[in-house]
């Protein structure tokens, strides 16, 4: 058998090697941080206590899988789940930060990406096609998942799951706002200006960031439901009066938010030690933190949480309260 060692073969070989090294480096960071900073607790899928398990029944000749009964709706379990989601978001943002801004991938019907029958941006296209694939395996039938293109998704090919109804029926989906803030506010702060031609890699990481942010922000529904159940006498009159400011104030726990921001900054400092070296020079001018420059990137991620993730989550909580009727 003849071995081809031309330039193309070598390029593929080194590219594969780079991917493997990158994955191993990422796994190493996770392991190091888990050892130093995280004491994990195994929790339920949706963040509330329940016995997990599936049982089958039949409806109209189809097999219907029933999700087990909920024992207890626990705000602390929800917070544990949200803490875990921080890691997913931080890793996704760190991975996106390694590429230039590549604004062409966000342009609607941009000159480089003319897709027949599609009028959105390259990011829109990749995000839609990703959601179509995930929809076929029933991702968006779960109550903690929200699609960016819910009206353009196919039906699942897997048998349906009947989830216990925890949330009050609602129509809240703020993904359009998340996408706008991400492309217009977060990306300019997260990435260096320029074009490095890594359009596919940038978009793949964008999709990961958007899905992680969406899940975290829409978890505000579960948090709001837990808080309502803990104090219905407090929230019921506020809901009836449509007093959004009072609802928002009672939903706010500033000490928890302060702990969250410190935790995000600590995690980002642990995960992203290689990101800020030689990259993102403009952070010197934007960050207000004194001292070691390696702390600018962690502060940036904490600011993203403070300025976007927390406010959007709180917006979802208020919207849910307004749509919830006793």
Residue 280 lies in a domain: no
Reported as a single tens digit per residue, the pLDDT across 267-276 is: 998 876 654 4
Residue 48 has pLDDT above 50, yes or no: no
Give the chain's domain count: 1
CA-nearest of 86, 193, 194, 182 to 127 is: 182
Provide the whole-model pTM.
Answer: 0.75
- Check residue 70 and give its pLDDT: 42
Residue 7 lies in a domain: no
Ramachandran angles phi, psi of 119, nearest 5°: -110, 5
Collapse the DSSP code of 96 into the 3-class scheme (helix H, G, I; strand E, B; otherwise coil) and give the result. Answer: helix
Q: Strand ranges (DSSP E) for the chain?
A: 49-50, 54-59, 62-67, 70-72, 161-162
Residue 37 lies in a domain: yes
- Check residue 295 and give its pLDDT: 64
Instruction: Tell me how many helices (H) and strands (E) the chain has.
Output: 13, 5
- Give the mean pLDDT of the chain: 79
Domain extent, residue 225, equals: 14-274+286-323
- Check residue 135 and give its pLDDT: 98
Residue 1 lies in a domain: no
- Candidate ranges 29-43, 139-153, 154-168; pick with highest mean pLDDT: 139-153
Residue 57 has pLDDT above 70, yes or no: no
Residue 187 lies in a domain: yes
**Cβ(228)–Cβ(321) under 8 Å?**
yes
Residue 185 lies in a domain: yes
Residue 24 lies in a domain: yes
Which helix (H) or strand (E) covers residue 248, if one does? Answer: helix 244-251
- Candidate ranges 188-192, 265-269, 274-278; pick with highest mean pLDDT: 188-192
Reported as a single tens digit per residue, the pLDDT across 121-144 is: 999 999 999 999 999 999 999 999
Collapse the DSSP code of 98 into the 3-class scheme (helix H, G, I; strand E, B; otherwise coil) and give the result. Answer: coil
- Here the CATH number for the domain that contains residue 19 is 1.10.590.10
Q: Pick 215 or 290 by higher pLDDT.
A: 215
Residue 141 lies in a domain: yes
Residue 223 has pLDDT above 80, yes or no: yes
């Amino acid at each position: 058998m003849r071995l081809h060692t031309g330039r193309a073969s070598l390029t593929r070989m080194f590219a594969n090697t780079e991917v493997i090294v990158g994955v191993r480096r990422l796994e190493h960071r996770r392991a190091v941080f888990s050892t130093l900073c995280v004491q994990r607790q195994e929790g339920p899928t949706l963040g509330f206590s329940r016995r997990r398990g599936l049982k089958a029944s039949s409806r109209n000749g189809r097999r219907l899988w029933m999700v087990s009964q909920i024992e207890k709706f626990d705000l602390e379990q929800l917070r544990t789940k949200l803490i875990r989601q921080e890691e997913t978001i931080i890793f996704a943002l760190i991975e996106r930060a390694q590429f230039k801004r590549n604004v062409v991938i966000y342009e609607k019907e941009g000159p480089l990406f003319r897709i027949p029958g599609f009028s959105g941006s390259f990011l829109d296209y990749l995000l839609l096609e990703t959601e179509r694939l995930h929809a076929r395996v029933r991702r968006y039938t779960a109550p903690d998942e929200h699609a960016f293109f819910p009206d353009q998704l196919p039906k699942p090919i897997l048998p349906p799951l009947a989830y216990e109804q925890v949330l009050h029926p609602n129509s809240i989906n703020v993904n359009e706002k998340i996408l706008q803030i991400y492309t217009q506010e977060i990306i300019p702060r997260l990435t260096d200006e320029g074009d490095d031609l890594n359009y596919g890699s940038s978009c793949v990481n964008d999709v990961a960031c958007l899905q992680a942010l969406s899940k975290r922000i829409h978890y505000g529904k579960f948090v709001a439901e837990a808080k309502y159940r803990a104090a219905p006498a407090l929230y019921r009159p506020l809901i009836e009066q449509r007093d959004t400011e009072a609802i928002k104030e009672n939903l706010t726990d500033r000490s928890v938010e302060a702990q969250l921001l410190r935790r995000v900054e600590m995690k980002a400092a642990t995960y992203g030690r290689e990101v800020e070296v030689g990259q993102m020079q403009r952070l010197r001018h934007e960050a207000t933190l004194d001292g070691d420059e390696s702390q600018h990137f962690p502060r940036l991620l904490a600011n993203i949480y403070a300025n976007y993730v927390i406010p959007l989550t709180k917006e979802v909580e208020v919207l849910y309260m307004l749509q919830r009727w006793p």
